[in-house]
Amino acid sequence: MKNRKYLTEPEIKKLIEAASQGNNPERDTCLIWMCFIHGCRVSEINSWRLADIDLSNNSIFIRRLKNGLSTIHPLYDLERNALYAWLKTRSRHKHAGKEWLFLSQKGNRLSRQQIYELLRNYGRKAQLKVDAHPHMLRHACGFALADKGVDTRLIQDYLGHRSIQHTVLYTATNAHRFTRIW
């Protein structure tokens, strides 16, 4: 169980509940929701700038790393309230003029290490049976989309995979896909 590479949706909800009780609840719940919903790598989410969010068109630019396909994603209901709450709190931050979406106390973007630490601590606080880390949210996104019956090619595009080989992991292990055959 400790070696599982993804979080389940109930575990993500527990993680978010733990984050909502933390020192920076608006920022951290928003970060977790957005990392999960958009299937981001830690270096992708900590690189988000305010300019990447287009509230008038209800979208966000996802700049993929590792030669992935960058694209624009819609903002979804699940994350929108968390994003608005964070932006309201962020507007009162002493470093609100900085370009980064997720600010540290010192006004820098959250580092990869800080995000790893946050998720590990929230995972422990939520009493998860796995050691939570950011990449588990990316995998959770892929598995959640596969469980919803989303086409493998669409999941590939959504996660920014150049090769379908990186995407079939999510659909190949989905036993529910067989229930719709007959």
Q: Which of 66, 88, 95, 148 is catalytic?
A: 66
Q: Which of 14, 90, 138, 139 is catalytic?
A: 138
Give burial (CB, 10 Å; 0-12/13-18/19+) of 127: exposed
> What's the rounded Cα separation, in Å, for the pair 86 and 36?
16
Is 138 catalytic? The answer is yes
Q: Which of 6, 122, 158, 170 is catalytic?
A: 170
Is 133 catalytic? The answer is no
Q: Which of 14, 27, 41, 90 is catalytic?
A: 41
Is 161 catalytic? The answer is yes
Is 73 catalytic? The answer is no
Instruction: Tokens for 25, please give them.
Output: 């609840």
* Percent helix / strand / coil, the chain, rounded to 5: 55, 10, 40
Is 66 catalytic? The answer is yes
Q: Which of 63, 135, 166, 177 is catalytic?
A: 135
Minimal CA–CA distance to 135: which of 48, 53, 51, 45? 45
Is 170 catalytic? The answer is yes
Annotated catalytic sites, by residue?
A: 41, 66, 135, 138, 161, 170
